[in-house]
Amino acid sequence: MTVKNIIAAAGDARKSYSIRKAGGKSAVSLTVPVYSVGLSFLDTLEGGALFEIDQKTAGKISGAFKALPEETRKRYTAPPAPGGYLERLQECSELIRPVLTETEYHEARRVLLLAYRRSLRFQINRLQVEAFRDTLQNELETWYAEAQCDIQKRRLRLLALELGKEG
């Protein structure tokens, strides 16, 4: 899509908006091409961490990542579960060792360890917040049930007092 096409599409969208704002129906339609490029190395935790440090190294690893089966690449797009980081580091080490020099390999492992530590810390914090939220929810439900019980007891006492006065 060229810049000229983008400008023309923006103009058409503006016209369509003006017509609809005035209460009319717009006959302007936009066709926007959508390209699917599949899974990229940058869609992974590892790709993002390594790309920030050294694009040349990330490019080498990206080639190895593209050679992986589709299912393995899909698995890499999600961070590992809290107990799976060491296994993931081992898998990545086996993947990157053949394509990197010794120095690049050790730097890449260091970066991956830091990224995994950040990710794990985030997961643990999220789990702690969820546990706190659940505890708080349970306490509020208990408090509400007790308050409802107290209200019922007060209503019964008032009813008993009113019946005692009438009788």
Residues 92-143 pLDDT 10s = 899 989 999 999 999 999 999 999 999 888 888 888 888 888 888 888 888 8
CA distance 44 to 67: 15
The answer on 89 and 29 residing in a single domain is no
Whether residues 13 and 72 fall in one domain: no
Burial (Cβ within 10 Å: 0-12, 13-18, ≥19) of residue 92: buried
Q: Tell me: do 69 and 129 sit in the same domain.
A: yes
For the record, the structure tokens of 160 come out as: 């008993």
Quote the number of domains for the chain.
Answer: 2
- Domain identity same for 48 and 105: yes
Q: What is the pLDDT of residues 20-38, one digit of tens each?
A: 777 777 666 666 676 666 7
pLDDT at 163 over 60: yes
Residue 157 included in any domain: no
CB 113 within 8 A of CB 85: no
> Which DSSP letter does residue 33 get?
-
What range does the domain containing 21 cover?
1-35
Least confident of 33-42, 49-58, 114-123, 155-164: 33-42
Domain annotation covers residue 31: yes
11 and 76, same domain (yes or no): no
Give pTM, 2 decimals.
0.58
